[in-house]
Amino acid sequence: MKTQFTRRQFLRTSSVLGAGVLILRSSKLAFAASANDKLNLAAIGIGGQGRSNIDNLLGAGVNIVALCDVDQVKAGDIFAKQPNAKRFIDFRRMLDEMDKQIEAVLVATPDHTHAVAAVAAMKRGKHVYCEKPLTRTVHEARVMRETAAKHKVVTQMGNQGSAENGLRRGTELVWEGKIGEVREAHVWFDGGNGPLKRPTDTPPVPATLDWNQWLGPAQERPYNPCYLPGSWRAWRAFGSGIVGDFGCHTGNLMFRALRLEQLWNTPADAKIKKAIIEVHARPSERDREGYPSSMITTVKLPARGELPPVELTIYAKDKPSEELMLGHPRGAWGDLLVGTKGSIYSDCPWNTRIALLPRDKFEGFKSGPPQTLKPSIGHHKEWVEACKGNGQTLSGFEIGGPLTELMQLVNLATLVERPVQYDTISGRILNSEAASGLLHRDYRKGWTL
């Protein structure tokens, strides 16, 4: 299934509720631009999602010094709008040649090149805004989080719902205990993908496209229009299916409200040496080229401090029982947390609006815990300001990395018959050699993290 949403559709779903998010890293750890200067930005991947990101970042006050895209014609209008920005096809050459001029980098390529581009930038001390999902593989997500922490750069993942008040207020209501203790959660997506067969025909590569650079770290294969534009999302070699595409959006409230990042961000001196999650996928088919048409996956999550274990169920095309909705309509998309005193539900793919269930019990409810954070100035602007030492990001890689890791574990599990036991502390699968081999993929010669 191909699911597309416009920025306008996203904004229409926004609610007007309060604020609140997860543990945040200080943005003053590293920054090059002063508070009053424009941030010098390089953008990688500007012909697709990068377009709207660039518009938002320009509005947030950046100075674009370099632009990189593998199709110079498809991205031609963006190049034309920024005549002073130097043009590149290979981001590695861009980083080499313009190292001293670049302070921050936008990565909006297909999923399979997110990690190699973002890690290369962070190792040079550049702040990074990277589209969701953060990476194509579980291992890459860990490396992204660890690299950001090591080099003390400011990061932001492109799940823009993080800046919306509905998600933040919903998170705070769960933290405060408004729905009681949560041991059950459900996240569902309106559709799946379907098995794919690799094409055998070899049409010529369009003259404007550098196919070698588009492939990046992926293994060599002939060009075919079935891979791009947009359709790359459905192929395991390049994209992450519906779970990867929207998991970091629709599962955002669940992940934050349950403080699941604590399973990954454990202090080095903590007594806990293992944190094992069990992932059991039941897909409609197991396909190494594409993703299943439908899927139900159960994830057993251990306790986080005083918070109890949780059983999370993730659905593609399938839906949870309507009985769980307590009389409320079950939407095509959903993020539902079931507590001992009630439930909280978002029917929006970006979690921008919430409902407390049952509705009659919470009718007239308007208060709640005090807001712990100020309302957002905008997802992109928060990153820009944090890069300049003003405030903090709300979806840095210390959050985006583990959230992506979880969703990619679900994708991995759709290829494995038995439940997968994964230790979030070590990053290892404990019960399957075959599954362990899926945590990462071999890169082509010349490409490294």
pLDDT attached to residue 37: 86
The three-state secondary structure class of 306 is: coil
Backbone phi, psi, residue 400, to 5°: -60, -35
pTM for the model stands at 0.92
For 203, counting Cβ atoms within 10 Å of its Cβ (0-12 exposed, 13-18 middle, 19+ buried), the class is exposed
Task: Give me the residues of the chain with pLDDT under 50, please.
Answer: 1-32
Output the pLDDT for position 27. Answer: 42
Under 8 Å between Cβ of 27 and 269: no
What separation in angstroms does the CA of 302 have from each of 128, 335, 422?
A: 31, 19, 11
CA-CA-CA-CA torsion sign (61, 63, 66, 72)? positive
Sequence letter at residue 426: S
What pLDDT, on the 0 to 100 scale, is given for residue 373? 59
Quick count: other Cβ atoms within 10 Å of Cβ 142? 22
Q: What is the pLDDT of residues 234-293, one digit of tens each?
A: 999 999 999 999 999 999 999 999 999 999 987 766 677 899 999 999 999 999 999 999
Q: Residues 311-366: pLDDT tens digits?
A: 999 999 999 999 999 999 999 999 999 999 999 999 999 999 999 999 999 988 87
Tell me how far the alpha carbon of residue 111 is from its chain's centroid. Answer: 10
Write down the pLDDT at residue 19.
31
pLDDT at residue number 7 = 42
The DSSP output letter for 282 is: E
- For the chain, percent of residues with pLDDT exceeding 70: 91
CA 443 to chain centre: 22
Quick one: which of 418, 366, 449 has its CA closest to 173? Answer: 366
- C-alpha span between 169 and 344 (Å, rounded): 11
Indicate the burial class of 256 (C-beta count within 10 angstroms; 0-12, 13-18, 19 or more): buried
**Strand 420-423 and strand 428-429: pairing?**
antiparallel
Q: Where are the domains of the chain?
A: 18-162+384-400, 164-193+238-373+404-436
Superfamily classification of domain 18-162+384-400: NAD(P)-binding Rossmann-like Domain (3.40.50.720)
Q: Report the CATH architecture of 164-193+238-373+404-436.
A: 2-Layer Sandwich (3.30)
For residues 406 and 412, give the distance between their C-alpha atoms in angstroms, rounded to a whole number: 10
Burial of 379 (0-12, 13-18, 19+ CB in 10 A): buried
- pLDDT value of position 268: 64
pLDDT of residue 277: 98
Note the pLDDT of residue 24. Answer: 34
Distance CA 154, CA 252 (A): 20
Taking a C-beta distance cutoff of 8 angstroms, is the pair 66, 88 a contact?
Answer: yes
Same fold, 18-162+384-400 and 164-193+238-373+404-436: no
Confidence at residue 272, expressed as pLDDT on a 0 to 100 scale: 76
Strands (E), 310-413: 310-316, 334-339, 343-346, 355-357
Instruction: Read off the tokens for 416.
Output: 């494995």
